[in-house]
Amino acid sequence: MNTTTFHKDTWELYKSLEMSKQLTAGETLAKLGKNHPEIVAMSSDLSKPTRLWDFGKEFPERFFNFGLAEKNMVTAAAGLASTGKTAFVSTYASFLGVLAAENIRTAVAYPNLNVRLIGTHTGIAMGFYGTSHHATEDISITRAMANMTVISPADGAALAELIEESVKTYDGPIYFRVSRGREEPVYKRDAEKVQNKIGKANTLRNGSDLTIIACGIEVNEALKAADELQEQGISTRVMDMHTIKPMDTKAVLQAAEETGAVLTVEEHNVQGGLGSAVAEVLLESGISCKFKRHGFYDEYSLIGKPYYLYQHYKLDGAGIASVANEFINK
C-alpha cells in the first residue's frame, strides 16, 4: 500500500471520530456534571477522539489534560478519587487497560476507588496503527483485578446509560471497554426506560438451538449472524453480555439449559476474555452443553483496514454465522 493511501485512510478515520455522535462519554458527563460536582475528567492528549472535550468545554476547571503520560494520569485520578471525586479517565485502550495496568491495579483497584476508566478504540479498531495500538488483552487484564468491574457496551446509547448508573448508584472502579464510535446502533436512546443495567445481560433475540453471547461491537454482528442462521434453519438466541464482571450467571445458565449450545464472540483474545468468563460459569455449575469461544485465537492481529480485518477473522456477521454453523453441525 502506498503512503498516499495510508494518509487518506488515516484522515478519514480521524474525521469520523471527531464527527461521531456515538462516542458519548463526554456528552453524557457534561450533562451529569451539572448535578454532580464530584465528577472530574482526564485525558492523555486525546480529548477529541475520545470526546472528553465535550465535558472539558462545559467544565474546564474540572478537566485535566496529562499529555502522553497515561500512567501518571491514572495515579492522579486515584488521588482525586481519594478526596471524594469520581474521576473519569479516557484514552485508547492500548494505553490504558494495557500500558497503565500496573497503575490501575495498585493505585485504583487495590484501594477500591471511584475511578472510571474508559478505554476507547478497543480490539483492532485502529487497524493500520498496528499491534502497539490494538487492544486484545484488556478484558483479561482488568477482570483479573480484584474490585474491578468490567463493562463492554454495545453502542453509544448503552454507554450513556451505564455511565449514568455508575455515577448515581455504583461504587468502586470500573473499566469501560468501548470501540471507536463508528459502530452501528443496537439500542435506541429512550428516556422512558433504562435498557442497560450494570451486571444484567440483555437477551436481544430468542432462539432454541444456539445461544450467542457477545459483547461490544460484536453484539450487532451476532444479531446479523442470527438472521443468516435463521435462513439455514438454526434458531439462535443472542445475548448482550455488556457486563463481563460481575457476570449475569443466571442468564448464562438459563441459556445453556434451554438451548444446549453456547458460542461466545468477542473482539479480544479468547484467552481470559468473555469466553473464558462464560466457560468458568458453565464449568462450575456442572451444566453440560456444547461450548465454543470465538475471537482471536491467542494471536496478534494482522495490520490493515478494520473492515477487512473483521472479515478475515470471521468477526463480522457472515463470519460468525459460518463459525456457528460449523460448531452446531460438528
Q: Known catalytic residues?
A: 70
Nine cell digits for residue 222? 451476532
Distance from C-alpha of 17 to C-alpha of 69, rounded to nearest angstrom = 22
Rounded Cα distance between 32 and 287, Å, is: 43
CA distances from 66 to 180, 193, 292 (A): 21, 37, 42
> What DSSP line would sit under 32-50, residue for residue?
HHTT-TTEEEEESS-TTTT
Number of H helices and number of E strands within the chain? 13, 12
Could you give the 3-state DSSP secondary structure of residue 215?
coil
Helices (H), the chain: 3-19, 25-33, 53-58, 70-81, 93, 101-103, 138-143, 156-168, 218-231, 249-259, 274-285, 306-312, 317-329
Task: At 298, list the grid cell.
Answer: 491467542
* Overall residue count recorded for the chain in this entry: 330
Q: By the 8 A CB rule, do 204 and 239 touch?
A: yes
Edge-first strand order for the sheet with 86-92 is 63-65, 39-43, 86-92, 115-120, 174-177, 149-151, 243-245
What the block records as the C-alpha cell of 24 is 458519548
The span from the CA of 142 to the CA of 146, in Å, is 9
CA distance 285 to 251: 13
